[in-house]
Amino acid sequence: DPAQTDPNLGNGTTNNTDASTTGTCDVGLQAPGGYNGEDVKIILVQGDKTTTILEGTSVEFPYVLNVKGTKGVNGVAYIYVKDASTGEYGDPVRYSPIPFN
């Protein structure tokens, strides 16, 4: 899966403004195993669009992912947890499918 190996993910944006093709998702993401309040990065991939939802902050889980995207196209969310000792993000936890209605 390219989202697990591509360090450049998260640089894209999503700009869907047509209401007939714009859907929303409202999904609760569970905490990655061993999560203890570290900073995270959450990325949403939907089709060929990659959007960074948040980066560099601690969150409470379940985290409610409430975003807009392309209606009828499932997405995949990735949560990366930052290692406090190295400052690097670890391997992502994958959540799918993320439905957009």
User: 62 near 30, Cβ under 8 Å?
Assistant: yes
- For each of the domains in the chain, give its residue range(s) and CATH number, in order of start: 2-94 (2.60.40)
Whether 86 has a pLDDT exceeding 70, the answer reads yes
What's the rounded mean pLDDT across residues 46-55? 93
| pTM, two decimal places | 0.77
Top mean pLDDT of 1-5, 9-13, 22-26, 53-57 is at 53-57
What's the rounded mean pLDDT across residues 68-93? 94
Return the amino acid letter for 7. P
* pLDDT at residue 21, rounded to an integer: 83
User: 65 near 27, Cβ under 8 Å?
Assistant: yes
